[in-house]
A and B are shown apart, each in its own frame.
Chain A
């Protein structure tokens, strides 16, 4: 790993150079909120942003993605044969992604790349993408809790380049070969001296400014059945307000579930995979009409058990959450994962009680 210094003027010129080699994506303010979008030629990402309203998930894993096309015309030679549509996996770079969102890709990879299954769409998109992260010099929101969710404001584990805003210039850590290629293409080559000292002190200052945490240390040792059965102590109370919309799921950078649909138009059609949500009754309903998660209390339990217990037990890599805080900010009825996590962590199955924080 090496550290470089990029003057802000040089940064803009570098982005122009990158346009010929990469499709660039970055945060842009649209209407009231920031969103990641494919940048037009000459358009610059707005790195004064806090974080985007929705996560960067859709850059790698679109909300709706066509996976196959087919003809239903019997006169066609390829009648009823599923064919893969042409895909664009040309190099792309995401400029200014926050560390929590980049870390989320590592979480999701555990699902999309296993010894048994490799998801071609997700992996091809990921392989084509270079992630240029932007450290959070201060916590972007009071709802951010990355420091206790396995991530951090300067976390560089899942980035190719980490940018740290340092006034009139960025200090950057070039972390991978992809990052090396990108910075070379951009012409960002000035070695930075003592960058680590500045970055580490910025990191410590930022981490100290976080005001909210989740407690996760006991989750792994908690009884799975005990938590599952904590209806009266946790689930019924947390589920009451829930309206079972998909906001938390769709806003979450680590929710990966999808649904597959065929859509037919006349004599041709496509197979699409769409984001799905365990909050929807449709997620689990059987062809018979029976729904094993027929009540919202079992759906909300599933969401939090998956993120904070099943995932923890299955992978032993912490929780399925990087602390971006979007679900907390966007939930229409203030279901707060921090509150739920702390209850699960402190739950005592013998007394059926837990600590409730506000």
Chain B
């Protein structure tokens, strides 16, 4: 991916120089390994701080919501899909955006990698030629296959290439197909559980939640001016750490994302407690695919299924 960054910088500088955009949104190197930080560049000098590697997992579509400037934005497949959702939902106008498309080679899972090595990670080196990542820390150095370190959503991703873009930084990467990868194996595992097992599963899933709302706030879909958990008239949900309130928050938030979620993994990536929030949204993605033949964020030309009524909508669930 090292060549990507040269092209990203070249395009970004040109856009700013020509006055085509007011700002370009990309990533700068973070102060910790695997933690690149979203940043904006308003001039060519700022662009020199841009980086690109397998730790650019934050979804940048989250940073254009309701902005009024003309924006250049570096977009992976999932970011581009969330830009589509944003445009459909009037959170940004298509002609405000200049989308710099990055054919994504998948992002690495910082939670998982941290659990794989014996100590604190001090540095990460990526070898794009042989697909390995060397993780170093005090007293250890391990070279691992990147393929084994991916964020789960990236390992299951079918849309690595941007679906909407103004200029690509490279030729498309090969896409995975549902024949290669079983996207919903884990969802089916939960579906097949008895009610008691499901209860125990979800009980455990959210037992560490501290209600910091990082999952919600990292999500490009969660732009409501006042989230239902923050409303006070009426107050839908208690605000303490009562398990019922915590589960209500997660389940309802997931439903609000049905037919809109692109499985970008921002929620899981952001969670300070390492909770697999995607366990909920992936199920809803599966339902939307099976019932409405719908994958979100692929086209500007169709309304999302939960936006519209069609006489042939499936209705087995109304009984």
Of B31, B62, B212, B272, the residue contacting A334 (CB under 8 A) is B31
Is the beta-carbon distance between A358 and B31 smaller than 8 angstroms? yes
Is the beta-carbon distance between B212 and A63 smaller than 8 angstroms? no
Bitwise, A230-259 to B at CB < 8 A (1) or not (0) is 000000010011011111011100000001
Given A32-B115, A54-B210: A244 in contact with B217 (beta carbons within 8 A): yes
Does A286 touch B at the CB level, under 8 Å?
Answer: no
Is the beta-carbon distance between A333 and B240 smaller than 8 angstroms? no
> Hey, which chain A residues are within 8 Å of B30, CB to CB?
334, 336
C-alpha gap A251/B273 in the complex (Å)? 10
Which of A87-95, A98-106, A217-225, A324-332 contacts its partner?
Answer: A324-332
Is the beta-carbon distance between A334 and B35 smaller than 8 angstroms? yes
> Hey, which chain B residues are within 8 Å of A54, CB to CB?
210
Is the beta-carbon distance between B218 and A142 smaller than 8 angstroms? no
Q: How close is B16's CB to chain A, nearest CB, in angstroms?
A: 16
Bitwise, A43-54 to B at CB < 8 A (1) or not (0) is 000000010011
Does A261 touch B at the CB level, under 8 Å?
Answer: yes
Q: How close is A220's CB to chain B, nearest CB, in angstroms?
A: 25
Which of B36-44, B74-82, B303-311 contacts its partner?
Answer: B36-44
Of A50, A259, A330, the residue contacting B272 (CB under 8 A) is A330
Does B256 touch A at the CB level, under 8 Å?
Answer: no
Q: How close is A213's CB to chain B, nearest CB, in angstroms?
A: 13
Does B262 touch A at the CB level, under 8 Å?
Answer: no
Is the beta-carbon distance between A245 and B31 smaller than 8 angstroms? no
- CB contacts under 8 Å to A, within B201-217, are 208, 210-214, 216-217
Bitwise, B103-141 to A at CB < 8 A (1) or not (0) is 000000001000100001010000000000000000000
C-alpha gap A336/B30 in the complex (Å)? 9
Does A185 touch B at the CB level, under 8 Å?
Answer: no
Does B165 touch A at the CB level, under 8 Å?
Answer: no
Is the beta-carbon distance between A243 and B31 smaller than 8 angstroms? no
Q: How close is B15's CB to chain A, nearest CB, in angstroms?
A: 18
C-alpha gap A26/B251 in the complex (Å)? 33
Is the beta-carbon distance between A243 and B210 smaller than 8 angstroms? no
C-alpha gap A176/B126 in the complex (Å)? 52
Q: How close is B176's CB to chain A, nearest CB, in angstroms?
A: 27
Q: How close is A230's CB to chain B, nearest CB, in angstroms?
A: 17
> Hey, which chain B residues are within 8 Å of A250, CB to CB?
210, 212
Does B32 touch A at the CB level, under 8 Å?
Answer: yes
> Hey, which chain A residues are within 8 Å of B212, CB to CB?
245-247, 249-250, 277
Residue of A whose beta carbon sits closest to that of B230: A282
Of A32, A141, A241, A336, the residue contacting B38 (CB under 8 A) is A241
C-alpha gap A243/B272 in the complex (Å)? 13
Is the beta-carbon distance between A274 and B31 smaller than 8 angstroms? no
Is the beta-carbon distance between A332 and B218 smaller than 8 angstroms? yes
> Hey, which chain A residues are within 8 Å of B31, CB to CB?
328, 334, 336, 338-339, 358
Is the beta-carbon distance between B238 and A263 smaller than 8 angstroms? yes
Does A38 touch B at the CB level, under 8 Å?
Answer: no
Query: Most chain-B CB neighbours within 10 Å: which of A243, A277, A339?
Result: A243
Residue of B whose beta carbon sits closest to that of A251: B272
C-alpha gap A10/B212 in the complex (Å)? 41
Is the beta-carbon distance between B269 and A332 smaller than 8 angstroms? yes
C-alpha gap A237/B49 in the complex (Å)? 13
Bitwise, A255-271 to B at CB < 8 A (1) or not (0) is 00001010100000000
C-alpha gap A142/B122 in the complex (Å)? 8
Of A240, A274, A328, A330, the residue contacting B63 (CB under 8 A) is A240
Given A63-B241, A245-B213, A245-B214: A142 in contact with B208 (beta carbons within 8 A): no
> Hey, which chain B residues are within 8 Å of A333, CB to CB?
35, 37-38, 58, 218, 270
Does B239 touch A at the CB level, under 8 Å?
Answer: yes
Bitwise, A311-346 to B at CB < 8 A (1) or not (0) is 000000000000000001110111110110000000
Q: How close is B44's CB to chain A, nearest CB, in angstroms?
A: 17
Is the beta-carbon distance between B37 and A334 smaller than 8 angstroms? yes
Is the beta-carbon distance between A32 and B214 smaller than 8 angstroms? no
Residue of A whose beta carbon sits closest to that of B111: A32
Does B29 touch A at the CB level, under 8 Å?
Answer: yes
> Hey, which chain A residues are within 8 Å of B238, CB to CB?
261, 263
Does A143 touch B at the CB level, under 8 Å?
Answer: yes
Is the beta-carbon distance between A332 and B208 smaller than 8 angstroms? no
Of A33, A142, A245, A336, the residue contacting B270 (CB under 8 A) is A245
Does A175 touch B at the CB level, under 8 Å?
Answer: no
Of B29, B63, B120, the residue contacting A141 (CB under 8 A) is B120
C-alpha gap A186/B273 in the complex (Å)? 35
Given A31-B208, A241-B37, A246-B213: A143 in contact with B32 (beta carbons within 8 A): yes
C-alpha gap A105/B214 in the complex (Å)? 26
Does A128 touch B at the CB level, under 8 Å?
Answer: no
Residue of A whose beta carbon sits closest to that of B272: A330
Residue of A whose beta carbon sits closest to that of B46: A237
Given A31-B208, A338-B31: A247 in contact with B241 (beta carbons within 8 A): no
Does A126 touch B at the CB level, under 8 Å?
Answer: no
> Hey, which chain B residues are within 8 Å of A328, CB to CB?
31-32
Does A272 touch B at the CB level, under 8 Å?
Answer: yes
C-alpha gap A247/B120 in the complex (Å)? 20
Does A64 touch B at the CB level, under 8 Å?
Answer: yes
Bitwise, A270-289 to B at CB < 8 A (1) or not (0) is 00101001001110000000
| 30 sampled A-B residue pairs with Cβ under 8 A | A31-B208, A32-B115, A33-B273, A63-B240, A142-B122, A241-B38, A243-B218, A243-B270, A246-B210, A246-B212, A247-B210, A247-B214, A250-B212, A263-B238, A277-B212, A280-B230, A282-B230, A328-B31, A330-B272, A333-B37, A333-B38, A333-B270, A334-B30, A334-B31, A334-B35, A334-B36, A334-B37, A335-B37, A336-B32, A338-B31
